[in-house]
Chain A
Amino acid sequence: MIARLTDGLPPRALALLAAFAAVMAAAPFFASDYVLSVLIISLYFAFVGQAWNLMLGFAGQLSLGHALFVGIGAYTSAALFTHFGVSPWVGVVAAVALSTLMGCVIGYLGFRFSIRGVYFALLTIAFAEFTGIMVDNNAWLGGSAGLFLPVKNAGSIDLLNLRGPPVLFYYMILILTGAALLLCRLLLNSKLGLYWQAIRDDQEAAEAAGVPLFRYKMIAVAISSALTGVAGVWYAFYYNNLFPESTFATGRSIELILGTVVGGVGTLFGPILGALILTPLGELLTELTSGLQIDGIKTFFWGFCVVAIVLFRPSGVWPWLAGLLKLDRSTGGDGR
């Protein structure tokens, strides 16, 4: 297992990765509350970015509605907790089950009815927006007034109910991000990963070489939506409030994937790198212009970054950085 993970990685890359992990693990000990909060959001985007990347970057299926799976995960666990006091550790099972189910429904409809490319992306958007409106009209889920999780006094950590200070959520999302990286690396080097990449590069040629398209696309959507559902649970318990409009909106789905596009679609480390570049820069910009009271400057900058990346470095920042650091092609992925 360990051998499979490190196979093909030059010692240099392993050392860098270990150093990076160590810095991230030690961050709460020297970072201020503000820096920690930025890191937390960055890692959240990194984690969801990895889940999304698995679908587009590995298997070639574009979703522009991933906020849907975050929303389902978040609302399921939050509703179970607020209404019945169900621990998020139990809630996460239901949350993942529901978001995976939703992913499979969309995947089934999309792939069975041969809805491809832009039409598939539209289908994911339509489902996300539709679900958002349904939640908006559902009183049990708080409707448009929002769903709020009871907050305990900060300081004490209640692991069972995930109530506690930001540092708890920092380590949770750090572990999730690390685990997703390992999972992606394992998957990419397996039959599953190779089949996904074949489908991504040329669906008809893959089919002629014996790849059952439907099954492997479904697996990609299922894993991606399941991981995103987990992110949703974390999101609900970190923020303690959920609003349908801001949770399910298409703009939110786009926001979730920007980091990955900047970091490098289809690469292993791209989503993490992209999120760690884009989120802090956006926050910095907001901070610098906070005196001017300009809404939207952060998102404007994010949009600009993506346009620049698509125009000038469409494979993303990571392949370029990996080359600069003289890391092997196989470092953190196939590099593309």
Chain B
Amino acid sequence: MPVELYLNVAVSGLLTGLIYGLSALGLSVIFGVIRIVNFAHGEIMVMGMFATLVLFRHLGIDPLYCIPIVAAALFAFGYLLQDLVVRRIVHLPDYMQFLLMAAIAVMIVSLCLMIFGPDAQGVQVAYAYDSFQIGPLLVDKVRIYAGIAALVVSGLLFAFFRYTDTGKAIRACGDNQVGALVVGLNVRHLFALTFGIGTACLGAAGAILVLLIDVHPYLGPSYTLLAFIIVIIGGLGSLPGALLGGLLIGVSEALAGLVFQPSMKSAVSFGLLILVLLLRPQGLLGKEVR
């Protein structure tokens, strides 16, 4: 019996991990190409969660169908954020970028607080309490759907970067910005596009995550940190790494909640971050941030 319990928890952690991975992809794409560390990551995802909440409550749209809508809205947000704000500070010292993004994060949290209040809110879908029985495993239906949705969106992202001209152009910008300019690519537009794609990932991840957890304004910072832990494990700027890191964290978090007290779950993540930062052999995981 305990073995089955652990297995159940691990599988549900794995499915949550797929969403974490999708969200971390958003961070990784932006860093990999624009070299901007998005300190407002979790907060932007929370925006996506609230947007889904509104769509569900007022228009009755299932969160899964909200994915394209919210992703499109956050794409526009990211595109404008890069083009109107972030682009103007690339010449400033690194810490100014962090402070700018942190300040934007503060604004988003405050805005959500002003609009939605401090309490946790969730969606109640019809299939919330259904589950699938797969051999000895009993998995929530929502979690299965959420995991599949995250996988599909991640797959679309990989396909975009691999097979479309725009995706290839963006990768070229990330590799060599000057070279991209020289061959006539519109780097400014491509960077804004990249930021938009990154935040669209967050929108999709947020829409899916609302199925699993209740949303409140202060959720943002912990997801920002979680995404950092994931991409640092997977390698900052590496897309498969982000997905893999998400799975690892999803499973270990779920198991940690089972083995220790649930309240210690995030302590395990932070402890893991400290360990990874220290033990990460220089340059092995991800590219050096100057």
**Which chain A residues have a beta carbon within 8 Å of chain B's beta carbons?**
56, 62, 64, 109, 113-119, 121-123, 125-127, 129-130, 133-134, 136-137, 249-251, 254, 257-258, 261, 265, 294-300, 302-304, 306-307, 310-311, 314
Q: Other than the known A64-B102, A119-B289, what 10 A-B pairs have Cβ atoms closer than 8 Å?
A: A62-B95, A109-B274, A118-B98, A123-B273, A127-B274, A130-B270, A294-B114, A296-B110, A296-B111, A302-B106
Residues from chain B with Cβ under 8 Å of A117 in the complex? 94-95, 289-290
CA of A122 to CA of B226 in the docked complex: distance in angstroms? 11
B278 at the interface (CB under 8 A from A): yes
Q: Is the CB of A310 within 8 A of B89?
A: yes
B258 at the interface (CB under 8 A from A): no
B56 at the interface (CB under 8 A from A): no
B113 at the interface (CB under 8 A from A): yes
CA of A306 to CA of B290 in the docked complex: distance in angstroms? 23
Residues from chain A with Cβ under 8 Å of B112 in the complex? 296
Partner of A114, one of B96, B217, B270, B282: B282
CA of A119 to CA of B109 in the docked complex: distance in angstroms? 23
Q: Which residue of chain B has its CB nearest to the CB of A295?
A: B113
Q: Is the CB of B267 within 8 A of A307?
A: no
CA of A118 to CA of B27 in the docked complex: distance in angstroms? 14
B37 at the interface (CB under 8 A from A): yes
| Nearest CB of chain A from residue B228's CB, rounded to whole Å | 6
Q: Is the CB of A136 within 8 A of B273?
A: no
Q: Which residue of chain B has its CB nearest to the CB of A136?
A: B263
CA of A260 to CA of B104 in the docked complex: distance in angstroms? 17
Q: How many of chain B's residues have a CB under 8 angstroms from any CB in A?
A: 46
Q: Is the CB of A133 within 8 A of B270?
A: yes
Q: Is the CB of B103 within 8 A of A303?
A: yes
CA of A183 to CA of B155 in the docked complex: distance in angstroms? 57
B264 at the interface (CB under 8 A from A): yes
Partner of B267, one of A134, A250, A296: A134
Residues from chain B with Cβ under 8 Å of A265 in the complex? 95
B88 at the interface (CB under 8 A from A): yes
Partner of A306, one of B94, B99, B274: B99
B117 at the interface (CB under 8 A from A): yes
Q: Which residue of chain B has its CB nearest to the CB of A260?
A: B99
Contacts A118-B37, A129-B266, A130-B274: A311 and B85 contacting too (C-beta < 8 A)?
yes
CA of A119 to CA of B99 in the docked complex: distance in angstroms? 14
CA of A62 to CA of B112 in the docked complex: distance in angstroms? 28
| Nearest CB of chain A from residue B66's CB, rounded to whole Å | 24
Q: Which residue of chain A has its CB nearest to the CB of B288?
A: A116
Q: Is the CB of B114 within 8 A of A296?
A: yes
| Nearest CB of chain A from residue B249's CB, rounded to whole Å | 14
Q: Which residue of chain A has its CB nearest to the CB of B272?
A: A126
CA of A76 to CA of B52 in the docked complex: distance in angstroms? 44
Residues from chain A with Cβ under 8 Å of B103 in the complex? 254, 258, 261, 302-304, 306-307, 310
Residues from chain A with Cβ under 8 Å of B218 in the complex? 251
| Nearest CB of chain A from residue B288's CB, rounded to whole Å | 8
Partner of B102, one of A126, A254, A314: A254
B61 at the interface (CB under 8 A from A): no
CA of A181 to CA of B290 in the docked complex: distance in angstroms? 31
Residue pairs across A and B with Cβ atoms less than 8 A apart, 29 shown, are: A62-B94, A117-B289, A119-B289, A122-B277, A123-B273, A123-B277, A126-B270, A129-B270, A130-B270, A130-B274, A134-B267, A136-B263, A254-B102, A261-B99, A295-B117, A296-B109, A296-B110, A296-B114, A297-B110, A298-B110, A300-B110, A300-B111, A303-B103, A303-B107, A304-B107, A306-B100, A306-B103, A307-B104, A310-B96
Residues of B207-225 at the interface with A, using a CB-CB cut-off of 8 Å, are: 217-218, 221-222, 225
Contacts A119-B289, A129-B266, A134-B267: A299 and B99 contacting too (C-beta < 8 A)?
no
